[in-house]
Amino acid sequence: MPNGESTIQLSEREMQVLEMVVTGASNQEIARKLVISINTVKVHMRNIFEKMGVQSRTEASLRAIQEGLVSVPENEAAFAKESETLTPKTFLLEATAPIIIPQWQQGYLLFAALVAVIVATFPLLFPLSPAPSGKPTHLELPTPELIYNAPTPTPPVQPGRDKSRWVSYAPMPTNRAGLALVAFEERIFAIGGVRVNNKETRSVEIYDSVTDNWTEGASKLSATTDVAGVILGDKIYVPGGCTNDGQAIESVEIYDPTADAWTNGAPLPEARCGYGLAAFQDKLYLFGGWNGKEFKDTIYVFSPQEDSWEVLKNTMPYPVGYVGAAVLNDAIYIVGGYDGQDEFDQTYSFNPETGKWRKMASLQEKRGGLGLVSSSDNIYAIGGGWDNPVDISEKYDPEADSWTSFEAPFTNQGRNLGVTIIGTKIYAVGGWDGDEETFMNSVTSYQFLYQFFVPISGF
């Protein structure tokens, strides 16, 4: 306030969002300016509304002016929109200078607030009576602005589509996305990720596929999101990751499922999160990802015997992150991905022996943040859809070099979920489905192969 300090306590990031709200910037413009996702903007908006005790952007703007949270010199130019490259959730820029608005906008905001009060109280002062026809009378009023965007309408189920092969199980105790999901001896390990309030976590939760129960494991050494994990020998390797402010880390953490204990391995050559990860012939291959500033096209190879990393001379076809990686036959397949501006439908096979890439048939849908697994001579792509909903899963046949669709466990994005395989079942766990205020904790499986046993009797 002019003669004292405001009682409203907002974080530095919430202040940046509020300053842009006062200028009339939309969620999309705020996300682009601050280099965060629209979902993160929505979370900040919800927190701002709660702390300020308001219910709309107009009220928040007026309260910010009244409390002196934003300065409004008369002759200053209004906020100018900038066309910056989009980047995914958690990628943040340095704090920007306070935003100031001209005095004419203050008058406009006050007038808008008055109109909003009149509209809100009109139905209470003058209730409507039913029309003579018995049908309700509708008063056309402006649609109130929501903190969260309206969910994308669910596409109609196509005739003949059978959803019964996706089966639900006991939900994961913690709602989260960006987690590493690894299967080991009939158990599934859900490691790290981002949970409620966009907070990265050290949590390790273990699902027993036999008893359909969850237990808690030893916490990861550091809280990170946008990670992946693979089994090498009898250990789970989880490289890098990001903190929620977009800072990538270079540490490599190794989990022993038998001892329920964590140790550190040799760090990455450079910090990474949102990468593709695969184990091939007792080595770990890490593709692309985000280094805290940009997406990369580098390939790192880890040898557990030497506990060291090698940077390959060969690079990916283009810089990208949030790709799917899976081993099939003698190649590593890299599928889909997101580069901060576009998501991809490309499929490439990488030969670790020669370092050569080969372009294969493209996905039917673009997918960033997908889950990718392989088994029984096929590759399965689940979820993804960074900007656009996807309501199908896809299966790749290397013999025909083609993708075919099959049912999905959800009807929206299913982004940054965890996917793994036990036996003949694909498990999809957690993620963000694009139309919920929180992350998911669902656990579903898809029976991709049926085994039949024919008894043989002797004579």
**200: CATH:** 2.120.10.80
Q: Quickly tell me which residue has 């189920």 as its tokens.
A: 157
Residue 147 included in any domain: no
* Cα→Cα distances 49→8, 45, 57, 156, 397, Å: 11, 6, 8, 35, 50
Is 176 in the same domain as 113? Answer: no
Q: Does residue 199 share a domain with residue 116?
A: no
Say which residue the tokens 């081993």 belong to: 327
410 and 344 belong to one structural domain? yes
Q: What are residue 167's DSSP bridge partners?
A: 445
What pLDDT sits at residue 4? 53
State the average pLDDT over residues 354-363: 96
Same domain, 344 and 280: yes
Cα gap 256→158, rounded to integer Å: 44
Rounded to whole angstroms, how far apart are CA atoms 375 and 276? 18
pLDDT score for 132: 34
What is the rounded distance in angstroms from the CA atom of residue 100 to the CA atom of residue 341?
A: 29
Check residues 160 and 185 and name the one with the higher pLDDT. 185
Residues 309-333: what's their mean pLDDT?
96
Q: Are residue 263 and residue 327 in the same domain, yes or no? A: yes
Say if residue 109 is in the same domain as residue 210.
no
Residue pair 371/381 in contact by the 8 Å Cβ criterion: yes
Please check whether residue 292 lies inside any domain of the structure.
yes
Q: How far is CA 270 from the centre of its chain?
A: 22
- Residue 159 clears pLDDT 60, i.e. is over it: no
Which pLDDT belongs to residue 262? 98
Same domain assignment for residues 170 and 275: yes
In this structure, are 111 and 211 located in the same domain? no
Percent above pLDDT 70 for the chain: 75
Confirm whether 236 is domain-assigned.
yes
Statement: residue 386 has pLDDT above 90:
no
The reported pLDDT for the residue numbered 157 is 38
pLDDT number for residue 103: 56
Q: For residues 206 and 9, which has the higher predicted lDDT (pLDDT)?
A: 206
Highest mean pLDDT among 109-118, 131-140, 353-362: 353-362
Tokens 């306030």, located at residue: 1
Q: Are residues 107 and 38 in the same domain?
A: yes
Structure-block tokens of residue 154: 């669910």
In this structure, the answer to whether residues 80 and 189 fall within a common structural domain is: no
Does a structural domain hold residue 284? Answer: yes
By residue range, what is the domain housing residue 428?
166-447
Tens of pLDDT, residues 250-297? 999 999 999 999 999 999 999 999 999 999 999 999 999 999 999 999
Torsion of CA 52, 57, 59, 64, to 10 degrees: 60
Residues 116 and 173 in one domain: no
Residue 43 sits in a domain whose CATH number is 1.10.10.10
| Average per-residue pLDDT for the chain | 80
Strands 331-335 and 324-328: antiparallel
Two structure tokens written together for 362: 């493209």
For the chain, how long is the longest CA-to-CA vector? 101
Tens digit of pLDDT for each residue in 59-103? Answer: 888 888 888 887 754 443 343 333 333 334 443 333 334 444 455
State whether 402 and 352 are in the same domain. yes
The predicted model scores a pTM of 0.66
Res. 459 pLDDT band, cuts 50 70 90: very low
- Domain count for the chain, please give it: 2
Q: What is the mean pLDDT of residues 387-412?
A: 90
Euclidean distance between CA atoms 90 and 177, whole angstroms: 12
